[in-house]
Homo-oligomer: A and B are copies of this chain.
Amino acid sequence: MKKQSIDDSFFHHTSVAIAGASTSYNIGHAFVSCMLDSGFKGRVYPVNPGGGEILGLKVYPSIGDIPGTVDYVISCIPARLTPQLVRDSAAKGARIVSFFTAGYSENGRAEGRDLEEELLRVAQASGVRLLGPNCLGLYCPDIGLSFACDFPREKGNVGFIGQSGGNSIYLIRAAGQRGIRFSKAISYGNALDVDESDLFDYFAADAETEMVAAYLEGVKDGPRFVGALKRLSSVKPVVILKGGSTGAGAIAAASHTGSLAGADQAWEALLDESGAVRVHSLDEMVDMLVTFEYMPPPQGRNMVLCGSNGGFTVLTADEYVRAGFKLPPLSPQDQHDINDVVARFSNTDAGMILRNPFDVTNIGSGEGHYTIMRRLADNNVFDLLTVQVSISNSGWPHAESPFRFWPDMFLDALLKVHREVNKAVAVIIHSAISDVDCQRSLELQHKCSSAGLPVYTSISSAAKAMDRFLRYHERRQD
């Protein structure tokens, strides 16, 4: 039987069965609970020989006992029982079986590899496609399908594939916090059947998906992957994190998802040639998604910096210059004008830096911040306006300090400028220390990303992501 190709029907299901869900807490139970919490729009069938009820849903003794058809089956049963599960699923019309179940090739033993081969034979004979094993499966917010209860419910334009379930959870949550929404995300584990190349080809054609991120540990069919990657990155930005790029990492990857990690130099060359953006951590991946999502491609690297605290202003300038940006000075006339503007809002310039980079900590008026930043954003010398706000210092010298209002005042002024002026703008909200800092930082992040601004959480990570973004576009202009 011919393999079903990966198309929208791979993601849009009207019924899901979870094999191995128990009436008390286990991982299958948790999957059932997630479907309900995530607002899955189809039917949910827990399956367990013990029967009973989970969260008001009848538990069926076997897949075969479910009335009607089943589109998507999630396996949480022991590995040795899974070939029969695939047969039963096929008989019920399932298009896809996803295996939380682990204990296959990644354990390095012959019986694990044998089981995988058996699964593959059964699947190929029946036309069912397999996801994993050793994975979390599908996240498709459009239909409320999810593998964690707190993933964003709204759909978006980012496609993600992750060979590690834990890394997939982190990436979706962390990017979600920074305003990223997903078209579809797939945790695909050992990639026994459906693999990164299948998914890249799907995303290349998927109209909902405008950029793609991937956490890969290894690929089995190199030439096919090279083709799929090149096709995808010729039409959409692709961000790739390669795990197992060192000897010890590769050993871990083999034990983790049975992956052959491959030489790092070959990966470096391939990713460079394909035009994909390579990152080295999940946080760098989130930074890239935020940048591609929220930053219009700037015309060049001339930046004006504005923010809080002289010392952080100095360090921010250092980071951006090291990352290849330029901070041109204002012309004498522009400098004269900006000094006049500042003089309207402050009777002294003491304790501020009023040249590029700007430290305007001691401006205590939102109108002042607006007027200064509007003037800087209007200046065509600058391709980008980057602002940085230190959270921990805004409670100096004590929690009741008027400085605590500074970040809101300053960022509100920036948002007004951003609405009015067509200029690439970036926001760094950094240096949170306490739990109170964290909470304020998250609120301010949300305020800015809701307004369509890219937000970063450290000076160095912002400079690195923006440099990669500029490189991406500079390469396409050559």
Contact = CB atoms under 8 A, between A and B. Distances in A.
A149 interface: yes
A460 B284 CA distance: 11
29 contacts: A30-B397, A30-B401, A103-B348, A147-B397, A149-B398, A149-B399, A166-B311, A166-B393, A167-B311, A169-B393, A170-B431, A217-B311, A243-B311, A244-B318, A247-B321, A248-B321, A249-B315, A251-B327, A252-B314, A252-B357, A255-B354, A255-B355, A256-B314, A257-B310, A280-B318, A281-B315, A434-B442, A435-B442, A438-B438
A174 B433 contact: yes
Contacts of A311: 162-168, 215, 217, 243, 256
A296 interface: no
Interface string A376-401: 00000000000000101101111101
A222 to B, nearest CB: 19
Interface in A171-200: 173-174, 177
Contact of A248 (B327, B348, B399): B327
Which 9 A-B pairs rank lowest in CB-CB distance, beginning with the nearest?
A164-B311, A166-B309, A167-B311, A103-B350, A438-B438, A246-B321, A149-B398, A249-B318, A248-B327
Given A102-B350, A148-B398, A439-B438, A164 B309 contact: yes
A102 B350 CA distance: 5
A459 interface: yes
- The number of chain A residues touching the other chain, given as a range, is 35 or more
Contacts of A431: 170, 174, 282
